[in-house]
Amino acid sequence: MRKNPSDPAAPGPRRRRGERIRRIGLPYLLLLPALVLELLVHLVPMVIGIVMSFKELTQFYIRDWGTAPWSGFDNYKVSVDFDAPVGKALLHSFFVTVGFTLLSVGFCWLIGTVAAIYMQDTFRGRGFLRALFLIPYALPVYAAVITWVFMFQHDNGLVNHVLHDQLHLTDKPSFWLIGDNSFYALLIVSVWKGWPFAFLIVMAGLQNIPKELYEAASIDGAGRLQQIRRITLPSLRPVNQVLVLVLFLWTFNDFNTPYVLFGRSAPEAADLISVHIYQASFVTWNFGTGSAMSVLLLLFLLVVTGVYLVFTSRGRKTADV
């Protein structure tokens, strides 16, 4: 498509200007499809969502939301009035989500990275294990989470069968899907489903580490752990920077897992913010308040991401313009 610029027949100055435009224009041209699509599917709806957050968008107005009355900051006031039940519940849900997200991302990353490092060397059955580890990621969310619901059942579940009937670790069967334990149930399911992704990405990242580095290190007499600490982890840094951030954002916004696990009203201990907002908008048909909560969430995530990028980009030269 693109002709080789070193065409001797072209006149000097014109050719150079064409090349200049091409050189400057090319990156934009390459970015254009991505930019247009992101604008269409994410940014424009996001702006519409922000507009909605300033409206009183209840079932009385959704049919023609353009005519819904402006409510100024009312939706926001309701959301952040932490003395009133709505604000208090939102704040509670926010803290639960933050705690849950940190733990889940931590475990996903840890398990994924350890597994990827262990599976760096060839050994019998490695390819098979790699595919096997992808199963939780490949299974349809609905079925996978429902299976966990079965396993967590009080009377008939596998978890209580093992913990109580077989290992006698508890005095009586525990409840996992209601009450305080539901937090751990949610965490386990989330890690089970999430770690293969970290594994996949770290595994691909490991392939880019030149093996000469390891060879040099082993000549210097560095052991396995030292190699991992001195070579593997620093080399994975750019991959990890994105991986951890994206895991964080997804886990924070994950809707399917808690929704299938607990239905439309989650136990307080596991009341994640995405289901909370779903309740505030779709179930109670108040899209204005739901939007306002989402915008607050968006602001929070923007700040977290900004701070995170500033901290993790230190000493990293690339992509800094």
Partner 1 sequence: MRSIRAAAVGAVTMSLALAATACGGGSSTGGGSNDSPKTLTYWASNQGASIAIDKKVLQPELDKFKKQTGITVKLEVVPWSDLLNRILTATTSGQGPDVLNIGNTWSASLQATGAFLPWNAANFAKIGGKDRFVDSALGSTGAVGKDPAAVPLYSMAYALYYNKQIFADAGIAQPPATWAELVADGKKIEAKGKQVLGAEGANVSENIHHTFVFAKQHGADFFTADGKADFTNDGVVAAVKQYVDLMAKDKVIPVGNAEYAQNQSVSDFAKGKTAMLMWQSASANLKSQGMSDSAYGIAPIPVQSGTPGTGTQVNSMVAGINLAVFKNTDNLDGSTKFVKFMTSDAEQKILNTAYSSIPPVKAAQEDTAFNTPANSVLKNTLATSAAALPQVADESQFETAVGTAVKNLFADAAAGRAVTTASVKAELEKAQQQMPAK
Partner 2 sequence: MSSPTSPMAPPRSFIWSRRIFLTLLTGFVLVPVYVMLSSSLKPLSDVTGKFRWLPSGLTIRPYIDIWSTVPLAKYFMNSLIVSVAATVCSVVIAVFAAYAVSRYEFRGKRVFTVTVLSTQMFPGILFLLPLFLLYVNIGNATGIALFGSRGGLILTYLTFSLPFSIWMLIGYFDSVPKDLDEAALVDGCGPLGALLRVVVPAAIPGIVAVAVYAFMTAWGEVLFASVMTNDSTRTLAVGLQGYSTLNDVYWNQIMAASLVVSVPVVAGFLLLQRYLVAGLTAGAVK
302 binds, among partner 2, partner 1, none (CB under 5 to 8 A by kind): partner 2
Rounded-to-integer distance, Cα 261 and Cα 100, Å? 15
Region binding partner 2 by CB under 8 A among candidate stretches 10-18, 43-51, 70-78, 87-95 = 43-51
Residue selected from 26, 146, 242, 303 as contacting partner 1 according to rule CB under 8 A: 146
58 binds, among partner 2, partner 1, none (CB under 5 to 8 A by kind): partner 1
Taking the least distance from each CB to partner 2, the nearer of 45 and 69 is: 45
State CA 182 to chain mean position distance. 21
Rounded-to-integer distance, Cα 133 and Cα 123, Å? 16
Give 26's DSSP letter: H
Does 113 contact partner 2 by CB under 8 A?
A: no
- By CB under 8 A, what part of segment 24-63 binds partner 1? 36, 39-40, 43-44, 47-48, 51, 58-60, 62-63
Token couple for 87:
């604000």
Concatenate the DSSP letters of all residues of 106-175 into one string: HHHHHHHHHHHHHTSS--TTHHHHHHHHTHHHHS-HHHHHHHHHHHT-TTT-HHHIIIIIIS--SSSPPP
| Torsion, Cα of 10, 13, 19, 24 (10° steps) | -170
141 binds, among partner 2, partner 1, none (CB under 5 to 8 A by kind): partner 2
70 binds, among partner 1, partner 2, none (CB under 5 to 8 A by kind): none
Residue selected from 207, 311, 314, 315 as contacting partner 2 according to rule CB under 8 A: 207
Residue pair 291/283 in contact by the 8 Å Cβ criterion = no
Q: How far apart, in Å, are the Cα atoms of 310 and each of 246, 266, 288, 313, 316?
A: 16, 35, 33, 5, 10
Does 66 contact partner 1 by CB under 8 A?
A: yes
Residue selected from 18, 25, 127, 263 as contacting partner 1 according to rule CB under 8 A: 263
Could you tell me the smallest distance in angstroms from the CB atom of residue 46 to partner 1? 9
Taking the least distance from each CB to partner 2, the nearer of 62 and 269 is: 62
Bridge-partner residues for 314, per DSSP?
none
Could you tell me the smallest distance in angstroms from the CB atom of residue 260 to partner 1? 10
Residues within the interface to partner 1 (CB under 8 A): 36, 39-40, 43-44, 47-48, 51, 58-60, 62-66, 84-86, 89, 146, 149, 153-155, 175-179, 262-265, 267-268, 279, 282-286
